[in-house]
Structure 1
């Protein structure tokens, strides 16, 4: 089967070689693969690396421009230009295990009722701080039931990262929603499941993802996830999963109880209860990880968990305000326009 691997990128000079080398070294016939790199007009040396080291040596590698600079636009450019029976997304700061493509194709061949297959992603890091972030993002307490972050069992799921899709999926449910700067994968997968499609998580399909290297970048990433999740919910008039509402409920509980407690003393007990309950859960989850990975990560994990939850919840509330209140009044904001991940 012909396979198209689409790689949306912008300014990935640090990791682009590792990404492309992992695709080119797949245990799958190279003549049956094409690699479409969709660049969001990088202003570092990313394009030079691709042009000098890959386009001149590999006939199955192409470089296409993405003037709009967003991930869903890049994916749609790639899908329209692709020739594959199977379409795989791989980010520029990620790379594949050697048998990623072979195992994905084998599963789709053996299980014709599966529309998309992928596997757990292993978060990797480059320093001490990003290691703590990786551990937090690989924890059920940190990311809820986003099983592609940590599960090792084969199972049907509602979404995953770096999926291998049958081409007819896009013909049936449409392409990526280009209005979504974030959450475009989740929204596409939500449409797929809603239409009766099935997404399989397999432990035999492995990929590796470089996590954010600072708490500031982590905050921005998850704030945007929460913000754009509201757009997905508004579009479909349905909540894809309850896990997306929990951080918002946590932040709302904190803010409301803190505000009212200034005027009505009993609400201080509610604020205290929320803080204590969350603190206990955070400490227990961090301790479980530290017994396995080392206690040097303890305080970093506690802080990383808080950022994951509070930034997502705050972003969700911002999304409610902008998409449901301001747009309802005919006002819009471009504040959260962003680039490819």
Structure 2
């Protein structure tokens, strides 16, 4: 479990891991980044109370670096990746181990079931769980078990991930997808089991969400630079939305200052049609959202935030590379406490 500024979530995440019922020994390795909110002190207290918790340092604070440090410090033949911003469902580990044995897969994952406690976080969670929001991956809500492109978090055979070289530490986001690509290229199976469920708590504010999605989009653009069309077509929808929006803005300016007139302005106005359709989609998704008015309004704000932030990041990452882009939403913590 890589950990950075997760004071309000860490204890719940750790408890969900340690309460897993499996046959045989287990340990939990926390890779501690340089937190500024008391997370490290909390992690040390938890480790003092339970000998199954092992602590390793991750001074760079990068997720794949922390994951590799934790894997190297671990002792057992199966690696279960967990996240400090999530909670494993009861029976998760036992079911995952059974699925590994049953299918012969190298990596098994399940559903990322986002949840929220405030109107904003609940709106984000609903869109995480919707193909309209985050879209496409089986782990966002598919009910069909089978071979998969990638796995959320993942329950992995140690010998296989060591064979392919662990996580690529030059990739700051999308490291799971890239590792699973190498696993599949090596002839191994990645498997999706919808009976596996992990609760994920999204970012708690609009600004944090925007920063998170911009960083994720930038690294997907980097992955497109590196791996081209091995990336699914769904990853190209947000940058297309950004380009259409920018083109419509330019057309609008040219119409206002009189550069486009007559037939030219009529033809150019066609660019507004996809944006109109998108606006109707956003409004429709918002109106159909369960809950009160605040949650519906947040849904209408969150959906374009996710798409446009991701798309802007993607374009930058595809054109010049992600470089040192990090998820700045993780660098400070004023989280909403859980009960």
Question: 1:162: which partner in 2?
Answer: 153
Distance 1:340 1:282, change over 3 A: closer
Change in Cα spacing, 1:75 to 1:339, as seen in structure 2 (3 Å) is: farther
Residue in structure 1 matched with residue 304 of structure 2 by the alignment: 306
Q: Note if contact 1:9-1:340 (Cα within 8 Å) is conserved in structure 2.
A: no
Find the aligned partners of 1:280 and 1:155 in 2 and give their Cα distance: 34
Where does residue 123 of structure 1 map in the other structure? Answer: 114
1:270 paired with 2:270, answer: yes
Q: Take 1:304 and 1:226, find their aligned partners in 2: how far apart are those partners?
A: 16
1:74 aligns with 2:66: yes
In structure 1, the residue matched to 2:43 is 50
The two structures, once aligned, show a CA RMSD in angstroms of 2.1
Mapped partners of 2:189, 2:101: distance in 1: 14
SS in 2 for 1:206: strand
| Alignment pair present for 1:87 and 2:79 | yes
Greater mean deviation of Cα atoms: 218-227 or 191-200: 191-200
Q: 2:15 pairs with 9, 14, 21, which one?
A: 21
CA contact (8 A) 2:244 2:275 kept: no
Equivalent residue runs for 1:175-214 within 5 Å: 175-214=166-205
Q: How far, CA to CA, are the matches of 1:12 and 1:299 in structure 2?
A: 28
Residue 268 (structure 1) shift: 4.0
* CA distance 1:298–1:339, change in 2 (3 Å): closer
Counting matched residue pairs gives 321
Asked whether the equivalents of residues 28 and 101 of structure 1 are also in contact (C-alpha less than 8 Å), the reply is yes
Consecutive unaligned residues in structure 2, runs of 5 or more: 331-339
Q: Which moved more, 1:296-305 or 1:311-320?
A: 296-305
Q: How far 1:253 moved relative to its partner?
A: 1.6
Q: Deviations over 1:256-291 (max 9, x none)?
A: 24324514424542331121111122233334444x
- Structure 1: runs of 5 or more not aligned: 1-6, 324-331
Q: How far apart are residue 333 of structure 1 and its match?
A: 5.7
Q: Residues of 2 paired with 1:115 and 1:62: CA distance? A: 25
> For 1:144-155, what aligned pairs fall within 5 Å after superposition?
144-155=135-146
1:337 is matched with which residue? 326
CA distance in 2, matches of 1:143, 1:34: 32
**In 2: Cα distance, 1:295 partner to 1:140 partner:** 22
Matching residue within 115, 132, 145 for 2:123: 132
2:250 alignment partner in structure 1:
259
After TM superposition, the structure 1 = structure 2 runs for residues 214-233 of structure 1, keeping only pairs within 5 Å, are 214-233=205-224
Cα distance in structure 2, aligned partners of 1:275 and 1:338: 28
